[in-house]
Amino acid sequence: MAGDSFGSLFRISTFGESHGPGVGAVLEGCPPGLPITQAEIQHELDRRRPGQSKISTQRQEPDTVEILSGVLNDSTTGTPIALLIRNTDQRSHDYDEMAAIYRPGHADFTYQMKYGIRDVAGGGRSSARTTAASVAAGAIAKKLLAQQWGVQIQAWVKSVGPLQLTTTAEAVDVSQIEQNIVRCPDPALAAQMVALIEQTRKDGDSLGGVVECLVRGVPAGWGEPIFDRLEADLAKAMLAINASKGFEIGSGFAGTSLTGSQHNDPFINDAGIIKTQGNHHGGVLGGISTGMPVIFRVAFKPTATIASVQKSVDLHGNPVEFRGRGRHDPCVLPRAVPIVEAMAALVLADHALRQRVTSALR
């Protein structure tokens, strides 16, 4: 289906289900000669994998990536890169009683309406398990961006429930992000977030929050007018992540409380480099990058599967009560961080290659 592919010149197609043999991706358009190792891809997968901390799902998946094609002697060949991550710790029987129930917050009902059939175990294709494939492909995109354009992508947890980081994106100490299991760059706030997540899980409930992302090194000129605007493609990529419910770039919704004179970022000449004084626009104007850091945020809903009793209906519309089964994150935010980075990298790599073509034709 077309909905399983993303990108133009740098294009990813993913496959697989939560409780099937595995998940994977085919990446097309990566230039030849890019140095990439299995270990580099594995590093990103290890940041996303389940069972990595006490506040994540206890499903134990090594998420070992297999490079099936497109890489020879640790260098890309220019041909399609096929990546496979096998599933090893499925417990499909946890979902037996869910076969006849539409779970609130899940895609059970919508998949049934669209296809007339659904994969009950783990949600099948609608499971966040499929994001492992995107993270694997995104690792290659991150390497390409860093090596050829010097682009660096860094995301972190900005909020969990009512707890929110107030530091501005460009002032965040990124060295602190991986120093705690919630991936918040403020150690004191991170400890509060961990405690809140643990208590919420004990209460049989879940939490949502916001991931913020800062991209440095994007030159002016990336992006396309109207339908392929850089921020539009970023929004599409972020809202393709499971459990995401909102996207904003730059000042976002908060900018609506400002006047035009307050919100406009004046252009200045900084030692021969044209840039803006301020970055309310989040690094994008008219769908095209300005050369300023790209800053955006992604909102994630509370995890749909909870241990508390919930009301719903069965396949015949009869009312039912049930408790969620299986192993699930009480809060998806910590593991969403590398997914946001990966999806951003896939978008930016595509636009980087598109701009390379445009510049060659000028």
Q: What is the pLDDT of residue 99?
A: 80
Q: Give the pTM.
A: 0.94
Give dist(CA 99, CA 119) in Å, integer. Answer: 9
**Residue 322 banded pLDDT, cuts 50, 70, 90:** confident
Residue whose C-alpha is closest to residue 72's, from 115, 37, 123, 29 = 37
Q: What is the pLDDT of residue 94?
A: 61
Q: What is the pLDDT of residues 70-95, one digit of tens each?
A: 999 999 999 999 999 999 865 656 66
Specify the higher pLDDT residue, 151 or 89.
151
Provide φ and ψ at 110, rounded to 5°.
Answer: -70, -40
Ramachandran sector of residue 16 (left: φ over 0; alpha: ψ -120 to 50; beta: rest): left
Q: Which helix (H) or strand (E) holds 202?
A: helix 187-202
For residue 283, pLDDT over 90 is answered with: yes
User: Which one-letter amino acid corresponds to residue 290?
Assistant: T
Q: What is the pLDDT of residue 344?
A: 98
Residue 86 half-sphere exposure toward CB, CA atoms < 13 A: 5
Give dist(CA 79, CA 31) in Å, integer. Answer: 8
Please state the length of the chain. Answer: 362
For residue 307, pLDDT over 90 is answered with: no
Give dist(CA 93, CA 89) in Å, integer. Answer: 12
Residue whose C-alpha is closest to residue 118's, from 268, 18, 31 = 18
* 8 A C-beta contact, residue 55 and residue 198: yes
For residue 168, pLDDT over 80 is answered with: yes
Q: What is the pLDDT of residues 215-259, one digit of tens each?
A: 999 999 999 999 999 999 999 999 999 999 999 999 999 999 999
Q: With both helix axes pointing from N to C terminus, report the angle between 230-239 and 333-361 in degrees, rounded to the nearest 10.
A: 150
For residue 33, pLDDT over 60 is answered with: yes
* Domains, the chain: 2-361 (3.60.150.10)
**Residue 59 banded pLDDT, cuts 50, 70, 90:** low
11-20, 71-80, 155-164, 285-294: least confident range: 11-20
87-101, 125-139, 172-186: least confident range: 87-101
Maximum Cα–Cα distance across the chain: 70
> How far out from the chain centre does Cα 189 lie?
22
Give dist(CA 212, CA 157) in Å, integer. Answer: 6
* 8 A C-beta contact, residue 230 and residue 240: no
- Percent of the chain at pLDDT > 70 equals 95
Strand order in the sheet with 209-216: 163-164, 152-160, 209-216, 294-300, 244-249
**Residue 96 banded pLDDT, cuts 50, 70, 90:** low
